Amino acid sequence: MNHFFNLFCRWGLMCFIISGFWSGSQTHADQSAAAAAQASSEMRSLSGRGDNFEVIVKFAPFSAGSEVSLIAYVLASDTNEPIRGAIVSGGMSGGTESLEVVFTEKPQPLAGVYAATIRVAGDKPYSWLFDIALGDKSDLVAIDGFQAGDQEKSAAPPAPTPHEPGETGAGINLTPIEIVALITAFAVLQAAIFVFIRRRCVSGSSAKEPR
pLDDT tens track for 3-14: 544 544 555 545
Dump pLDDT digits (tens) for 148-158: 876 444 334 44
Mean pLDDT calculated for residue range 81-108: 91
pLDDT at 1 over 70: no
Phi, psi of 41, rounded to the nearest 5 degrees? -70, -20
pLDDT at residue 120 in the model: 87
Sorting pLDDT into bands at 50, 70 and 90, what band is 173?
low
Higher pLDDT, 173 or 20: 173
pTM value surpassing 0.85: no
pLDDT at 76 over 90: yes
Mean pLDDT calculated for residue range 159-173: 50
pLDDT at 68 over 60: yes
pLDDT at residue 153 in the model: 44
Share of the chain above pLDDT 90, in %: 37
